[in-house]
Amino acid sequence: MAFTPLSRTVALAALGALFSFGAHAAEPVIGLITKTDTNPFFVKMKEGAEAEAKKLGAKLLSGAGKIDGDNASQVALIENFVAAGAKTILITPADSKAIIPAIKKAQAAGVQVIALDSPTDPASAVDALFATNNYKAGELIGQYAKAALGGKKPVIATLDLFPGHPVGAQRHNGFLQGYGLKSLPATSNELAKPAEVVCMADSYGDRAKGQTGMENCLQKNPGINLVYTINEPAAAGAYNALKAAGKEKDVVIVSVDGGCDGVKDVAAGKIAATSQQYPLQMAAMGVAAGVEFAKTGKKVKSGYTDTGVTLIAAKPVAGVTSADTKVGLDKCWGNK
């Protein structure tokens, strides 16, 4: 059969489209689902995932819940990403238990699911977890807080995440353990409450809710001299409440995260110390594992991988290893 110029053009175009499709099909597709898209921690996580995906030639799909705890949005995103051809989904679970049926459904479709930052409940529901050792992060600030109080009897308020979340429980209980108070193990999702804890409030990691929680705690017990917070936005809210009450110089605040705003608050004396974690590292490791799975079919090593934590403090205390705020700012995330 002879090809006319027109038919030859059509054939070449079809062949080009075939090669284009093949190249596109070979591009690994990875989904990233975070709790929100406003928290600087998750913004940096997305940036890390985007950079690693570009480096390794993968396509990244991303989405987030509307607020912390928004399980429904995360379920919808999992379904959408599976339909879009994602072979690996990276997720920071908003609800550690409620998300599991959606994860199981994705895995049944041949998708590798890796948790970042926050474990599922049970942790074995995902193929792997890349995260901070949140119990250790809590222990570090607990040890620092005890030294910083200098022998004073602790009168503690805790501004927690919300009930039942593993990260919230691990940081809270780790803090108490580090201080040397009655606590619960890292495997528990309950919040310990020894007698020294006179007030507990759920902040959802939010500045405004942290401020309200601190105001309510001060009304219950004006003698609070130590405040543990789930993260630095909640710590900033606590500081605002203490300042409004004229008590900001009388109370030690400790926290977890290591964002740039939080480290600046440590340098300014608003927060005594914070445990810095590394979201970019979590995301990069997750994308690399996703690309490996897409190319070779080899799944990530199951179980937990610690992505590191460092205690950042403006004033070092005896017996507790810490780095200064310059180190914290060099490694922080968010707006420097």
Listed by start position, the domains of the chain span 8-132+279-302, 134-276+310-331
Which pLDDT score is estimated for 26? Answer: 74
Spacing of C-alpha 181 from chain mean position: 26
Class of the domain covering 8-132+279-302 = alpha beta
Which pLDDT score is estimated for 236? Answer: 98
Which pLDDT score is estimated for 3? Answer: 37
Neighbours of 322 (CB within 10 A): 22
Helices of type H across the chain:
5-26, 40-56, 71-83, 100-108, 134-149, 166-179, 207-220, 232-244, 260-267, 279-296, 325-331
The C-alpha angle 24, 50, 333, rounded to 5 degrees, equals: 175
Distance separating alpha carbons of residues 168 and 252, to the nearest angstrom = 20
Q: Quick check: 79 and 71 in contact, CB under 8 A?
A: no
pTM: 0.82
DSSP symbol at 323: B
Which pLDDT score is estimated for 68? Answer: 82
Structure tokens at 285: 């490791």
Class of the domain covering 134-276+310-331 = alpha beta
Maximal CA-CA distance, the chain: 95
Which pLDDT score is estimated for 39? Answer: 84
Residue with tokens 């914070």: 274
Intervals of the chain under pLDDT 70: 1-25
Each as own residue / partner, the long-range contacts of residues 260-264 (CB below 8 Å, 24 or more positions apart, any chain) are: 260/40, 260/329, 260/332, 260/333, 260/334, 260/335, 260/336, 261/40, 261/232, 261/236, 261/334, 261/335, 262/231, 262/232, 262/235, 262/236, 262/332, 263/312, 263/325, 263/328, 263/329, 263/332, 264/325, 264/329
